[in-house]
């Protein structure tokens, strides 16, 4: 039975989210893959000290105790695992930087011809936003429809990002490296795939494959798009860690492709 280390925690503001994601991996594997894998909880505390099953260890101690590591901590930790020749799953620093900086992501997408909604970070006034793109606007999860409302938000918030609102169909694409014999396997969008024309399907699948390469994703990538009424795709954001909760969008995507989520997880572990 293979030992899978679930690496989570780490210094920085992603500590709590990493704990949750790692916990989801542990729970999923206990429920579905306990006959094949034994999970080992590896925690990096907020001071940067590594622990295995609650006992402090050095990273090098993992070499003969773990067969593969699933890293939900900072991707910089993957460099340590690579230097120790420990097989691992997890994102790398470049996509992590893009995932956490919309400005960097937008500039990178512009270089390869992928559209994103326009935006202004820290606008001086609502007039500045209006001159760049018309209402309605998105401020966080809030849809702003009027000029006075936008003015009030800008005046009362020191850290604000105003984005163009694109009307259309929101969809997500999941891709896995090497699944079912394909270099990059693309799962069809859940429920709405049949509403697309053959040309739209072809364009979307091609775009998802290209972005898997361009974003430097390794084992997994989720892309969130919006398709406007003119048939143009806009990238909203992306994620490099699958959501392994029972009724997640990823679980639905697996089911729609005739696969179980734990089968995809097993593929990822074996391909590490």
pLDDT score at 193: 45
pLDDT score at 190: 57
Residue 270's H or E segment, with its range, is helix 261-271
Q: What domains can you pick out in the chain, each with its CATH number?
A: 2-89 (3.40.50.20), 96-114+167-271 (3.30.470.20), 119-164 (no CATH)
CB-count burial class (<10 Å; 0-12, 13-18, 19+) for 149:
middle
**Single pTM value for the model:** 0.89
Q: Along the chain (272 residues), what's the average pLDDT of each consecutive run of 10 residues?
A: 96 90 96 97 95 94 94 90 93 84 90 93 94 94 95 91 92 94 88 65 89 91 91 92 93 94 97 91
pLDDT score at 90: 87
pLDDT score at 103: 85
Q: Which among 38, 215, 186 is positioned nearest to 112, based on CA atoms?
A: 215
pLDDT score at 216: 87
Dig out the tokens for 61 from the structure.
């101690």
């Amino acid at each position: 039975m293979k030992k899978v280390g679930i690496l989570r925690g780490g210094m920085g503001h992603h500590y709590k989210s990493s704990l949750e994601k790692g916990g989801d991996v542990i729970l999923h594997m206990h429920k579905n893959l306990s006959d094949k894998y034994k999970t080992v909880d590896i925690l990096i505390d907020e001071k940067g000290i590594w622990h295995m099953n609650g006992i402090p260890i050095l990273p090098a101690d993992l070499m003969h105790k773990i067969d593969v590591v699933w890293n939900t901590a900072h991707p910089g930790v993957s460099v340590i695992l690579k230097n120790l020749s420990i097989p691992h799953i997890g994102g790398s620093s470049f996509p992590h930087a893009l995932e956490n900086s919309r400005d960097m992501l937008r500039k990178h997408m512009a270089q390869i011809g992928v559209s994103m909604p326009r935006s202004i970070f820290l606008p001086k006034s609502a007039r500045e936003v209006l001159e760049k793109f018309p209402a309605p606007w998105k401020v966080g999860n809030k849809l702003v429809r009027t000029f006075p409302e936008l003015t009030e938000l800008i005046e009362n918030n020191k850290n604000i990002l105003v984005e163009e609102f694109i009307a259309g169909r929101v969809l997500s694409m999941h891709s896995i490296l090497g699944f079912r014999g394909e270099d990059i396997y693309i799962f069809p969008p859940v429920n709405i795939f049949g509403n697309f024309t053959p040309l739209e399907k072809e364009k979307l699948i091609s775009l998802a494959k290209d972005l898997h390469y361009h974003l430097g994703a390794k084992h997994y990538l989720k892309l969130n798009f919006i398709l406007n009424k003119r048939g143009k795709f806009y990238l909203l954001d992306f994620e490099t860690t699958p959501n392994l909760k029972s009724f997640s969008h990823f679980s639905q995507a697996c089911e729609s492709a005739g696969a179980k989520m734990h089968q995809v997880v097993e593929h990822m572990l074996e391909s590490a």
